[in-house]
Amino acid sequence: MKKIVFAVTAIATLSLAGCIHVDADENGRDAIYENTEAALRVCGGEGRVKEVSEDGYSCITD
């Protein structure tokens, strides 16, 4: 089960990487990765994420 969740998260993260442009230095990449994972969970999927940065993320509001 954990392998499936990890695979789904990896696929969602990779698909998001093509949709959202971020500028980050080497240290900010870990923060962006963590914020991307959090954004996917909190916003309700990749179609609901507006922006991800080192400082956080924002969801698309209705």
* CA gap 20, 50 in Å, rounded: 8
pLDDT value for 31: 87
3-54: per-residue pLDDT in tens? 665 555 655 665 555 555 555 555 667 888 999 999 999 999 989 999 999 8
CA distances from 50 to 1, 27, 35 (A): 29, 22, 12
Per-residue pLDDT, 54:
87
Q: Are 49 and 59 in contact (CB under 8 A)?
A: yes
Domain ranges of the chain: 2-59
What pTM does this model have?
0.55
Burial class (CB in 10 A: 0-12, 13-18, 19+), 12: middle
Nearest to 57 by CA among 27, 9, 25, 16: 16
